[in-house]
Each structure stands twice: as C-alpha cells, then as structure tokens.
Amino acid sequence: MEAIAAVPELAKGAYVLFENGHPVYAGKTDTRHGFRSRLSRHFRTIQDRIGLDPTTIGFKAVRIMVFSNFDVEAILIDELRRKDSSALRWNFSGFGSNDPGHNREAQEPADFDKERPVDIDRPLDFLPLGSMLGALDLALALKDGLTYLFRYETDLNERGRPKRHTVGHVDFREAAPITLPEQPLTMREALILMLEVLPNEWRATVFPDRVILYREKVTYKYAREYLEFGQG
C-alpha cells in the first residue's frame, strides 16, 4: 500500500502486475479510476487466497497523459505475450471482476477464483480479541474487515426486498452474545461461533470468491463447502 500511495493521485495510464517477477496481469486506468483506486482493489483481491502469497506480487505503472487514440492495454498485452507466451495468465481469467449481481450464487466462478479460492482458515487481525459482541456486530465487523465478499441474510422491507446489511436479520438481534477468544479467529471459527447462537436453519456457504450466511439449506452447484450448527 505504501507503493500504491506513492503514485500521484488520479494519475492514469497502464500497469502490469508481477508474481515473483513474472508478468501475470496487464491493465489500464483512466482519471475517474486512477492507479490508486485500481491497484488498491487488486491489493485486496490477492489477500487471503489459497496458494497465493501476496508478498510475491508487485506492480509497475506508467503514467500516460493522453491515450484516447490507441488501445494501450491491447498493445501492452500483445507485446508481453509476444515475448513470453506464458505471461499475463490472469488476464481474461476474471481477476478483479466485480460482484456479478443478480443470481450471483448460480453463476460459474471466474477461473482466477477457482484456481486461487478464498482462504477461510487464515487468522483475522481486525476482530476485537476477548470482547463480547452481538451476532450482528460480528457480522458487520467481518463484512467491513474481510478482503473478500461476505453477504448475509437481512430482514425484508414492506416491498419484500432485503433491507440494508447494517439492519441484519431478526435472528441476529435476538441471538445470545458471542464472546471472542483472546487469540485471533479465522473466518471459519467466526462463522461457527455465529452458527452456535443462530437457529439451526442457518447455513454458511463458502464459494471460491465469497462467503454467504443465510437461513436456508440450499445446495449450490459451485459451492466449495458448507458450515452448519454442530460442525464446530
């Protein structure tokens, strides 16, 4: 993040990500989404992934003042692949793509996410150790602190649509408080603590790129793992 912060604010141009010095992704960015914004997003994507050490990832960025008359990204990709056919394997793999939105759990995950899925067994350093939290407070802390997407069921409004995640579900608000241990929790352990105080109908589902916690027993085609009460 220090290297990203050193890039001029709102600077635009082309960039390359490297893994152990090998180019794995090339892209471009404009003034609206400058280097800082785009690289910070990539920084989060490479955290907490199975088989991916974020300390091996670096970047190079070239500021370009005006490039509206040519496709700098395509030129960069073609040139790097011409020199090395194994370069830029993250391009066109779905790396860094947005949450697909409606019906997202039924959509096939991106190749990048299938190859480097999220790791729910790494200790989390942002939870208040030894404190007592409500289920909703813990869910909010996880949603804000995780580097990957965490979605959970909320109450419905008068139109039958989900309320904001800050409202949560009535089961969260009525659940017994959760006492966190004195040592850092993993996401798996945090989910198990929540499932212990929620009704048995709740289930956590782990996908390659996200985790959801819903009052359901749905089987998803692309789920990697399910967590339920009693598994801990």
User: How much is the pLDDT for 65?
Assistant: 86
User: How much is the pLDDT for 123?
Assistant: 97
User: How much is the pLDDT for 101?
Assistant: 54
Residue count of the chain, please give it.
Answer: 232
C-alpha closest to that of 193 among 185, 182, 184: 185
The side-by-side arrangement of strands in the sheet containing 22-29 is: 22-29, 13-19, 57-63
- Residues 191, 212: contact at Cβ < 8 Å? no
State the Cα torsion 133-135-141-146 to the nearest 10°.
130
Structure tokens at 225: 């793992």
- Residues 175, 135: contact at Cβ < 8 Å? yes
Binned average pLDDT, 10 residues per bin, the chain of 232 residues: 93 96 94 89 97 97 82 91 96 79 79 97 96 97 97 95 96 97 97 97 97 96 94 58
The predicted model scores a pTM of: 0.91
Angle between the N-to-C axes of helices 187-197 and 135-145, in degrees from 0 to 180, rounded to the nearest 10 = 160
User: How much is the pLDDT for 200?
Assistant: 96
Question: Beta-strand (E) ranges in 83-148?
Answer: 132-133
C-alpha closest to that of 115 among 188, 37, 45: 45
